[in-house]
Homo-oligomer: A and B are copies of this chain.
Amino acid sequence: MFSHPLGDGAELRLLEERHAAELFALADRNRARLRQWLAWVDGNTDPAHTAAYIRRSLAAFAQGGAAACGIWVDGAIAGAIDHHDLNASNRSVSIGYWLSEELQGRGLMTRAVRAMCARAFGELGLNRVEIRVAVGNAKSRAIPHRLGFREEGTLRQILWLYDHFVDEVVYGMLAGEWSMGQSTTR
């Protein structure tokens, strides 16, 4: 019922537990590709795991600020994006996301990340948004790049990916940069 329009028939909706089956099926179809860069994929082998993720996210939402959203395109789930690790003292939050393969290339995730930045800097009044991406995940790295995030460093062997460690690039955007960027270009 509650949604945020992204244009072109796409919208963000807060994930509820009843969406678990459909979201799991989507992740399952994209399993081989997603597990290359995301550490939760191999452990997500049953809709109950997706339901548990949604419950945890809703509990965090209920305590303030965090939010796990589905991206719906023409009425079907196409991916997910979230606000996690919200730190109220330091006024910062992190964004994570993934998209089904057949919907890539339309700028959908760029619009979704932009909407989540607007939520962070606008509604939530935060000062810093962070995105971490594995060094080799070129497609995901393109998004913060395109939106003007600054590359701040590379944390070595920070993530265990089933059988090897990967390094992650940290991208940061500050409230002042965001509002300036919004007034200039868009």
Contacts and interface: CB of A to CB of B under 8 A. Distances in A.
A14 interface: yes
Nearest to A152: B153
A16 interface: yes
| Category for how many chain A residues contact B | 35 or more
A87 to B, nearest CB: 9
Contact of A61 (B4, B62, B115, B159): B62
A155 B170 contact: yes
A111 interface: no
Interface of A: 1-4, 12-14, 16-18, 39, 55, 58-59, 61-64, 67, 89-92, 115, 118-119, 123-124, 127-128, 130, 150, 152-160, 165, 170, 172, 174
